Amino acid sequence: MNYKKARIISLFLALIAMGCIWFLTVPEDPNILLIVVTIALFISALAVHLIFYKCPHCRKRLPSRGYPGETCRKCGKKLDS
């Protein structure tokens, strides 16, 4: 998996988890299954981001905030080559 797919997948999982949190704010009894699914989604999003969001050349992590740029900040090689 390349860094672009990893970023999209981790953001998608985090957004689904945030949607689950919104359902947990309903004043009824919280569903334990929904709580477990929400925690699992957040852990999955974090794992995808930490494992796969790296430079394809030096394998150092890319910056989490903003756009990573055209080149790696650690090794200086182009990310899309």
Count the neighbouring beta carbons within 10 Å of the beta carbon of residue 66: 6
CA nearest to 43, candidates 54, 3, 35, 79: 35
DSSP states along the chain = --HHHHHHHHHHHHHHHHHHHHHHTSSSPPPHHHHHHHHHHHHHHHHHHHHH-B-TTT-PBPPSSS---SB-TTT--BTT-
Q: What is the pLDDT of residues 31-41, one digit of tens each?
A: 788 888 889 99
Note the pLDDT of residue 2.
85
Q: What is the pLDDT of residues 25-61, one digit of tens each?
A: 777 777 788 888 889 999 999 999 899 988 888 989 8
Note the pLDDT of residue 21.
85
